């Protein structure tokens, strides 16, 4: 009866052949159920090899993905700090230091020119507290004057991102107290408006 090589799976091999014609492995005592048995055995071996390669490939891809994710998470704090420093540098480049009295005088003299001058600017304004409280959407605010309580035009400062510490400081502000506020110029409605404000001192 025909035989199949136990080493390489070649078959059929004639019953009187002592060695595999493909790999020279002895096949004298090998039994076979019939011709053609070796081919399925060889095919099965290639299927096993293919599945193993596929599993190793998937595992390698997953490992690479996890390594990249871990690297990204490790670098995230540094990247956030870099972006914060970049935003701070940009804000400083756009900051204009001005007294509330001078700012209000510019808007009273020529509102259009003053608006054009300060659009896109971050203003650091020193003025006198007229009052503080909470406005629309429960935003804390402070109204500054240039020192003249009778003047109609004021500066409204909205503290959009105030934390608990800032809110406590804002509540403690008293009328007539001199302070410095930094915020983004947001145009003029009835008063000159600043948003995203922080207390400097």
At 165-195, the pLDDT tens digits run 888 888 888 899 999 999 999 999 889 999 9
Are 108 and 153 a contacting pair, CB within 8 Å? yes
**107 found inside a domain:** yes
**8 found inside a domain:** no
**131 found inside a domain:** yes
**170 found inside a domain:** yes
Q: Give 86-100 pLDDT, tens digit per residue.
A: 877 887 888 899 999
Confidence bin at 23 (pLDDT 50/70/90): confident
Structure tokens of 4?
A: 């199949």
Q: Give 126-163 pLDDT, tens digit per residue.
A: 999 998 888 777 888 999 998 887 788 999 999 987 77
Range of the domain at 140: 96-199
Are 122 and 183 a contacting pair, CB within 8 Å? yes
Query: What percent of the residues of the chain are helix, what percent strand, and what percent coil, each to the nearest 5?
Result: 45, 25, 30
CA dist 88 and 108 (Å) reads: 31
- Res 31: pLDDT: 60
**192 found inside a domain:** yes
* Domain containing residue 106: CATH number: 2.40.50.140
Domain count, the chain: 1
**132 found inside a domain:** yes
**160 found inside a domain:** yes
Q: Which is nearest to 152 in space by CA: 116, 188, 119, 194?
A: 188
Q: What is the DSSP letter of 120?
A: T
**46 found inside a domain:** no
């Amino acid at each position: 009866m025909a035989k199949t090589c136990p080493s390489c799976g070649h078959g059929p091999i004639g019953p009187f052949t002592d060695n595999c014609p493909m790999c020279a492995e002895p096949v004298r005592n090998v039994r076979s159920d019939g011709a053609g048995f070796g081919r399925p055995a060889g095919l099965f071996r290639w299927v096993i090899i293919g599945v193993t390669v596929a599993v190793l490939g998937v595992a390698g891809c997953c490992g690479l993905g996890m390594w990249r994710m871990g690297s990204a998470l490790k670098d995230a704090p540094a990247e956030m700090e870099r972006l914060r420093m970049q935003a701070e540098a940009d804000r400083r480049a756009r900051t204009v230091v001005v007294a509330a009295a001078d700012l209000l005088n510019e808007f009273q003299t020529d509102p259009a020119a003053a608006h054009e001058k300060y659009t896109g600017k971050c203003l650091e304004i020193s003025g006198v507290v007229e009052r503080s409280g909470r406005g629309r959407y429960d935003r804390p605010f402070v109204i500054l004057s240039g020192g003249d309580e009778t003047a109609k035009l004021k500066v409204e400062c909205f503290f959009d991102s105030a934390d608990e510490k800032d809110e406590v400081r804002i509540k403690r502000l008293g009328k007539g107290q001199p302070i410095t506020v930094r915020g983004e110029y947001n145009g003029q409605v009835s008063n000159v408006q600043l948003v995203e404000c922080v207390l400097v001192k």
